[in-house]
């Protein structure tokens, strides 16, 4: 593992998290069968069979990303050094990639002033809603199975993040909670573990 601060990391089935660069390294050196990659977790050395594809579909560790973001804010780190998405927000329509002027929440696109006038002057788009662009807009989490839906729930049975369609299709009858509640639970458990670790470390360092 690279051991660097990353706002985006991904979870292996063993629940250990790796950044995208480390995952690519694992994939490059993985044993390949006819239909699977066999990845070995660098933390616990467990083997995982992942479906063969150019891009592995692993769940993102959102809690770790939020805690990393909070840590960087509290310690004065410049976010753009670790996350390219926090730089200038560009227009997603024009080829010139000019700086975005507004975000259409209906189309879910960032638009420069010229594209805003060109594509949203039609009467059919008069009900679209516009907001100022913000780096926070880029943190919107989209379901990898249903790209038109946002992630909003967590399944305790399968330890997976869900959108509304995932809940109905794959997790019907499972114990699910809202994403906010899930983050709160995980954060509480993590901070409790950190407190126990610090207490244990202090007892070891204290001369008897």
The domain containing residue 168 runs over which residues? Answer: 142-200
- 168 and 182 both lie in a single domain: yes
Mean per-residue pLDDT of the chain = 79
Q: Which residue has the tokens 């993040």?
A: 161
In a domain, 96, yes or no: yes
Give a yes or no: residue 50 inside a domain.
yes
Q: How far apart are the first and last CA of the chain?
A: 36
Q: Which residues are paired to 111 by β-bridges? A: 102
pLDDT tens, position by position, 72-104: 766 666 554 545 455 567 888 777 778 888 888
Residues 71 and 25 in one domain: yes
What does the CA dihedral 55, 21, 143, 77 come to, rounded to 10 degrees? -160
Residue-wise pLDDT for 170-202, tens only, equals 898 999 998 878 877 877 777 788 888 888 888
Phi and psi at 153, nearest 5°, equal -140, 165
Q: How many domains does the chain have?
A: 3
Residue-wise over 37-72: b if at least 16 C-beta within 10 A, else e? bebebeeeeeebebeeeeebebebbbbbbebbbeeb
Is there a single domain that holds both residue 164 and residue 135? no
Tell me the per-residue pLDDT of 122-179, one tens digit each, with 9 for 90 and over.
Answer: 766 777 888 887 655 444 567 777 777 788 899 999 988 888 888 888 898 999 998 8
205 in a structural domain = no
Residue 24 has pLDDT above 80, yes or no: yes
Same domain, 1 and 68: yes
- Residue 115: strand, helix, or coil: helix
Last residue within a domain, chosen from 141, 159, 186: 141
Yes or no: say if 37 and 30 are a contact pair by the CB < 8 Å rule. yes
Q: What is the CA radius of gyration of the chain?
A: 21
Q: Which single residue is written with the structure tokens 């989490």?
A: 141
Q: Is residue 11 part of a domain?
A: yes
- List the beta strands (DSSP E) in 65-190: 102-104, 109-111, 130-132, 153-155, 160-162, 176-178
- 83 lies in some domain: no
Check which CATH number belongs to the domain holding 180 and give it.
3.30.160.60
The answer to whether residues 68 and 109 belong to one domain is no
Residues 181 and 161 both lie in one domain: yes
Last residue of a domain, one of 36, 58, 78: 78
Residue 133 lies in a domain: yes
The model's pTM is 0.39
Please give the pLDDT value at position 177.
92
């Amino acid at each position: 593992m690279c051991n660097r601060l990353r706002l985006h990391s991904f979870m292996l089935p063993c629940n250990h998290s790796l950044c995208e660069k480390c995952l690519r390294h694992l994939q490059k050196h993985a044993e390949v069968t006819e239909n699977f990659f066999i990845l070995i977790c660098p933390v616990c050395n467990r083997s995982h069979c992942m479906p063969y594809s150019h891009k592995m579909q692993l769940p993102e560790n959102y809690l770790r990303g939020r805690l990393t973001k909070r840590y960087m804010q509290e310690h004065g780190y410049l976010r753009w050094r670790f996350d390219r998405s926090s730089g200038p927000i560009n227009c997603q329509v024009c080829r010139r990639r000019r700086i975005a002027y507004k975000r259409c929440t209906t189309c879910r696109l960032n638009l420069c002033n010229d594209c805003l006038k060109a594509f949203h002057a039609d009467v059919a788009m008069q009900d679209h809603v516009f907001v100022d662009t913000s780096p926070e807009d880029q943190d919107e989490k989209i379901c990898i199975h249903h790209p038109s839906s946002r992630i909003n729930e967590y399944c305790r049975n399968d330890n997976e993040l869900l959108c509304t369609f995932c809940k109905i299709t794959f997790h019907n009858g499972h114990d699910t909670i809202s994403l906010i509640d899930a983050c709160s639970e995980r954060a509480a458990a993590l901070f409790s573990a950190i407190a126990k670790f610090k207490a244990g470390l202090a007892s070891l360092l204290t001369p008897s």
